[in-house]
Amino acid sequence: MSSHSIFTRIINRELPSYTVCEDMENIAFLDINPLRRGHILIVPKLEVDNIFSLNEKSYNSLFFFAKRVAINMKKKITCNRIGMSVVGLDVPHAHIHLIPINSFEDMNFNKSPLKLTEEEMLNICQLLKFTA
């Protein structure tokens, strides 16, 4: 059994994902327990538990990458904004949630996640996929 986080296992292609985009330092993939259709996780390839433990270069790279993904999302999903959240309690690997939102309630992590089919996830992934 691997001692790496689930995100590192996705990055290493040990686990499947709905990858939307990646560059040398970061990866973006659909959250499998989304709050809204198009909910994406932005993850540094460097496994660090706390986002504020990233070195400055990795931290800046992560947020710049997140901005590019969010701009792409806004072009392709009808919503008022792309919300961003860094919670850091669910997986011991730094990550950012990007969520298409129309109200504050759309970012309520206490709500039950959507149950999307494999086909729906693939369609959303295809819609949002782009090259960084």
Residues assigned a catalytic role: 95
Do 99 and 83 form a contact (C-beta atoms < 8 A)? yes
Do 87 and 109 form a contact (C-beta atoms < 8 A)? yes
Do 82 and 74 form a contact (C-beta atoms < 8 A)? yes
Do 40 and 29 form a contact (C-beta atoms < 8 A)? yes
